[in-house]
Structure 1
Amino acid sequence: MSLHYEVVLTCVLQDDTPDAVLAALRWHLGLAPERPAELDAEEHSYPMLSPDPDSRLPGGDFASLRRQSRGFTAAGDERHAWGLFSRNLWLDDMMGDLYTVMDLLSPHIAEPGYCGHFREEFDAEPTSLTFREDAFGPLKL
C-alpha cells in the first residue's frame, strides 16, 4: 500500500526567469498542453505539479504561476516577480521527483527561505522546504 503526501510549493521567482524555465513550469503545472522541447523527457517524464481534478486533498489540488507586482524601486519603478503556488497529492514513489522540481526552481529564486512543505497526508507536522542562494535545503525524504 502506498503512502500519499501533500506537496506544497510557494515561492517567488525572479522577474528575469528565462522563458524556457517558465514554459517548463507552465507544463508541469498543467497550464500548457505540450512538454517544451528543451526538457529532458526522461527527467521530466510527466507534469509533476498538475492538479488532479479528483484529488482527495481537502479543497483539492491547485496550481498558479503569475507575474506579480513586488513594490517599487528607489527610483519609483514598479518591481515584478513570478509567484508560484502549487498544492498536490503525490504517491510516495513520486517523492524523488521533488529534486527535479527544486533543481528547476532554485537558480531563479528571488527570495531565499521557506518555499513550501510536504507531509504524509495523515501527519500533523510537515517537513519544510527551503531555498538558499542558487540551491535548496537538504531534503529528508
Structure 2
Amino acid sequence: MLDIGWSEIAVIAVVALLVIGPKDLPRALATVGKWVRKARMLAREFQSNVDEMVRQAELEDLRKQVDEARSFNLATQFEKTVDPDGGLRNALKVDDTPRPTAVDAGREADKAPAPAALPPAQPVPTLEADPVPVAAPVAPAAPAEAAPLPKAAGDTAARG
C-alpha cells in the first residue's frame, strides 16, 4: 500500500519518541490508530460505493442489451443485409398492400345488411279447362328375337 519497510518504521518511531516524548507517545499512537481506522473505513466505503456504481452501470448495459434483443426484428435485419440501399426492393416493386382473400370476403358478407323482405306471395291463378279423357295403359310389347350373328372365318367357337 504505502510500501514502507521496517527500517523506515524504525526511523519514524525514533523521531516520534524524540519529538513527542515517552510520556505522550502511547496517547499519540492511539490517536494515530483511530485516524488510520477512520481512513480505512472511508476507503472501504468509497470502494463499496464505486463497486455498486460499476454493478449498476453493468446492469444498465445489460438492460439496454435486453431491450435491443426484444426489439430485434429478424425480417428487417435480413432485408438490411440483403438489400441495404433498397434498390432490389424498388426494382421488383413489391406491393405491400394486403389483398382480400375468400375469408375476408366472407367476413364482409357477414357485415353486409340483410336484404329487404320480399312482398307476400300472390296466389297463382288456375285455368279451368275441359277434362281430357285418359287413355287406357298400353301393355309393353314382347321383345323381338335377336338375329343370329354371322360367323367369322376364324371363329374358334365353331371348332369345338
- TM-score (normalizing by structure 1): 0.15
Which structure's residues are more often helix, by fraction?
2
**Normalised by the size of structure 2, how large is the TM-score?**
0.14
Between Structure 1 and Structure 2, whose CA radius of gyration is higher?
Answer: 2
Greater RCO (Cα-Cα under 8 Å, separation 6 or more): 1
Q: Which protein has the bigger strand share?
A: 1
